[in-house]
Amino acid sequence: MHESDNGVLTVTELTAGIKTLLEESFPYVSVSGEISNYKRHSSGHAYFSLKDDRSQLRCVMWRSANRKLTFEPEDGMEVLARGALSVYDVQGQYQLVAQQLKPVGAGALQAAFERLKARLESEGLFREEHKQALPSFPERVGVVTSASGAAIRDIIQVLRRRAPWVSIILRPTPVQGEGAAAEIAAAIEEMNDYGELDVLIVGRGGGSVEDLWAFNEEAVVRAVFQSRIPVVSAVGHETDYTLTDFAADVRAPTPSGAAEIVVRDLRELKERSEAVLRRLCGSMTGYLDRSRQRVATALTSYGLRRPVDQIGQFAQFTDELTRRLADRCFHDHETRVQLVGGLAGRLQALSPLSVLERGYAVCQRASDGRIVRDADELSVDDRVNVRLRKGEALCRVEHLHDGAEPSGASAHGKRREEAPANFGLFDESDTSEPA
């Protein structure tokens, strides 16, 4: 800090000196307190105060850090803020530039848990359709956990007991505390880049909600969701649920439970193989016994003892079938011939030519060719064509007689003459039979 000759500092010089002193003395601090006057500016930066029963500390959280929050801060929420002290030169106020913010207390943690869970669920990270199936017989199992924790010892013990042929690839990583979430997410990505694993176990042993909180961080949940290797989540005890459990392909109740899920038990495989082998041997033995019985029965059958007689009987039976077939065909043929003859006779009887053959004629009015059925359809001097069995005759009507009403008037009230109509079809003197 530069002083003038008279030892007097300007406000800017004094503020700059205090700023330098603060930033060098408190490069990184953790402060817990209650949020007050929280405001998120349209620029994305957040401004608030941390207070306790006696003091307040102004805080600012830039947009880059604010975007990483897994919960929405509110006034009255107890939080733990981590960052560096600095001075806002314009107002000469010192403030904490927060880089991380975490809720403190079970209630706040649960609220943050529910908010992040709802957001990730709305993005589809927990849907069943994204779950991958675990391999039936993995040869390489990756483990992301602490190298010094009880979880890795349990996992190794179970894997060695159940499937000693399986290779275990450990990526040690801190599982709680500052930076643990980023380390776990990076370890999952490295395991995927390695690319020679069949299944991946991610987890740790039991602990408090705060201890397990790294597995509720968004970075870890997204890394698990994006893993191309099937992931088994093994965090804490059976009653502990984290967001990683929802994003994983399979949730195991404990780390040792995860090891039991990913590999088959050698003793169980042996027992099942022996059971299958016993059933297979029993089936083969039964099949061979039944085959021997069929062969023995066939050797004592009549066909094998007297093959020539058997062939003769089959030949005789064949001749009998041939005779039955011929008789049946002949009978069907006769039946159909009779049926066709009957139908032809009925058609012949209904033919108009047959009527003409019997001596009848067809009378048509010459003017319009209309068939004449009644005498009252004609008038005297009308001309008619009369068709006979052979040829036609053009005739003129001289007399009309209505044979249907011999004693009354005609339908039109006109009385017809009693004399028979002469259609000119036949000569009255001709008494011979019609042709």
Residue 3 confidence (pLDDT): 54
Q: Which residues contact 274 (CB under 8 A, 6 or more apart)?
A: none
Residue 430 confidence (pLDDT): 41
| CB neighbour class for 262 (10 Å; exposed up to 12, middle 13-18, buried from 19) | buried
Residue 251 confidence (pLDDT): 95
Residue 5 confidence (pLDDT): 59
Q: List the Cα angle 199/203/207 in 5-degree steps.
A: 165
Rg (CA), the chain: 56
Mean pLDDT by 10 residues, the chain (435 residues): 68 87 86 90 91 90 84 82 89 90 76 85 94 95 94 94 94 89 95 95 88 90 96 90 94 94 91 94 96 90 83 91 95 95 88 84 91 89 91 91 53 42 42 40
CA distance 348 to 336: 18
Residue 239 confidence (pLDDT): 83
Residue 104 confidence (pLDDT): 79
| Residue 434 per-residue DSSP state | P
303: which 2 tokens? 């066909």
* One-letter amino acid of 354: S
Residue 424 confidence (pLDDT): 42
Q: In sequence order, what E strands does 153-285 have? A: 167-172, 199-204, 231-235, 250-251
Residue with tokens 């003892």: 305
Nearest residue to 212 (alpha-carbon basis) of 202, 223, 198, 222: 202
Residue 421 confidence (pLDDT): 43
Nearest residue to 217 (alpha-carbon basis) of 360, 364, 117, 363: 117
For residues 65 and 100, the answer to whether their CB atoms sit within 8 Å is: yes
Cα distance from N-terminal residue to C-terminal residue, the chain: 155
Residue 356 confidence (pLDDT): 85
